[in-house]
Amino acid sequence: MIKEVFQQLWKDKFARISLIVLAVIYAVLFFADFIAPYTKDFSDRTMAYVPPSKIFTIDKDGKLSKPYTYNYVREFDNDNLEIKYTLDRSKKHYIKFFSQGQPYKFLGLIPMKRHLFTTDKDGRIFLLGTDINGRDVFSRLLFGGRISMTIGFLALLVLFPIGLLYGGISGYFGGKVDSIMMRFAEAIMSIPSFYLLIILASILPSGMTSTQRFLLIVIILALIGWAGFARVVRGMVLSIKNQEYVQAARSIGASRMRIITKHILPQTTSFVIVAMTLSVPSYILSESGLSFLGLGIQQPDASWGNMLKEAQEFTNILYRPWLLTPGFLIFVSVLAFNVIGDTIRDILDPQSKTR
């Protein structure tokens, strides 16, 4: 069935573009260590807020040359009292492809040194400028994307089994069990989700390793979303549980848990797929919002949300627009996920005409 859905997705023009965009994004993120010229923690303190490097392919004499770049030098303008960066045109730094640069571990396992592109030792190439600590925004964008684009999926993997089981039990058992379980889910839904999110994030103890923090944020995101999902599953279970094949399973003595997990829940598959693709973007947005406020992924780790934190200052927005690039990436990936989700819904549920 998944193959059929995919074929139909491919037929739709917008869905095809979205699939390609997402595939490119995920491929780049997968090879982030290799594509990024610098490692996540590389910082050059003398190069804070450097604008994007200019890349030249035509030299001063008007001749075509190998691509090269100039370094920026910092100057203090005494008249206007501001720091200015100007190009140091005395020394060319050629851009080298597939050559040795900063050492890293590919996917955290294989030690490697080659980068897609880099420049010589004292040259600096910052495709999208640097942040306050002189870290390369382009490189951090790739490493941050790894976190931002996977956290939603991980949260869904935690949330869906909980929601399915909760909704399944509640719907199948019915009666008092059902009403108690549903009142609890409704109570969770009655707390504005973002309020709950920031409160849960704020009670995380400080001094955790970045992996622990990442996993706990995944769990928090999952805790926010399961209730609404469980409610819908319950509704579906209510309509399925009186069908003949369920009665048949009951009459041959299948246990209740077996009936719920083996006979009823599989019937909700197409709904689950739609709900999953539709809710990935909202988790990407939640994570970035949380990190934007400083409650999610913490420095020195990067995520698209916490990179945007610097955009909270007016001077940054006005004079350093390259710091806004993570926002555009969030926008593009959320848009792509939304388009795919809408198309999948149309394919699986031809009656709904939301598109």
Partner 1 sequence: METIKYIFKRILQTIPLLIMVSLISFFIIRLSPVDPLAELKLNPSISPVTVEKERQRLGLDKPIIVQYGKWALSFVKGDLGVTSNGEKVSQKLKERIPNTLLLTTIVIFLTWLVGVPLGIIAAVHWKTNFDRILTVLTSIGMAIPSFFFAVLLLMFAVKTGWFPIGGLTSPNFADMSFGNKVLDIAYHLILPVFVLFTISLAGLQRQMRANMLDVLDSDYVKFARAKGLPEWMVIYKHALRNAVNPMITLLGFEFAGLLSGAALTEYVFQYPGLGRLILEAVLKSDINLVMASLMMGAIMLVLGNLIADILLIITDPRIRVKSS
Chain residues in the site for partner 1 (CB under 8 A): 183-184, 186-196, 198-200, 202-203, 205, 281, 285, 288-289, 292-295, 308, 311-312, 314, 317-318, 324, 327, 330-332, 334-335, 338-339, 342, 352-355
Is 235 in contact with 171 (CB distance < 8 Å)? yes
Query: Closer CB to partner 1, residue 48 or residue 204?
Result: 204
Minimum distance of partner 1 from residue 87's CB (angstroms): 26
Minimum distance of partner 1 from residue 110's CB (angstroms): 34
Residue 183 CB burial class (10 angstroms; 0-12, 13-18, ≥19): exposed
Minimum distance of partner 1 from residue 316's CB (angstroms): 10
Query: Closer CB to partner 1, residue 153 or residue 328?
Result: 328
Query: Closer CB to partner 1, residue 128 or residue 295?
Result: 295
Query: Closer CB to partner 1, residue 136 or residue 342?
Result: 342
Query: Closer CB to partner 1, residue 5 or residue 196?
Result: 196
Whether the upstream peptide bond of residue 52 has omega within 30° of 0, thus cis, is: no
Q: Return the amino acid letter for 271.
A: F
- Give the integer Cα–Cα distance in Å for 15 and 337: 9
Minimum distance of partner 1 from residue 149's CB (angstroms): 14
Minimum distance of partner 1 from residue 70's CB (angstroms): 28
Query: Closer CB to partner 1, residue 129 or residue 281?
Result: 281
Minimum distance of partner 1 from residue 201's CB (angstroms): 8
